[in-house]
Amino acid sequence: APLPAILTTDLRLNVPRYASLPNIMKAKKKPLVKMTVADLGVDIKPRLQTLKIAEPPKRQGGKLVESVDELVDKLKNEAKVL
């Protein structure tokens, strides 16, 4: 769909619909057609390429502080939070 677009859903979106017995019996009578990828005209070659695999750096250990004032000071100066 061209953008901008509006999508709406219903509250019953994730509620399964169960098949009734007559529909199950009808489905059993229908022929099952097997198709290959070539019949569908779909290209299944992989399109992703792995460039690099690396482990993330090890986390540093935490630091214990003796008081709330020291914690606030570290947050302001080292972590630049406040």
Output the pLDDT for position 82. 64
Mean pLDDT, the chain, integer: 89
Q: Which residue is associated with the tokens 């630049």? A: 80
Output the pLDDT for position 17. 85
Output the pLDDT for position 52. 93
Weakly modelled stretches of the chain, pLDDT under 50: none
Assess contact for 75 and 65: CB atoms under 8 A: no
Output the pLDDT for position 80. 80
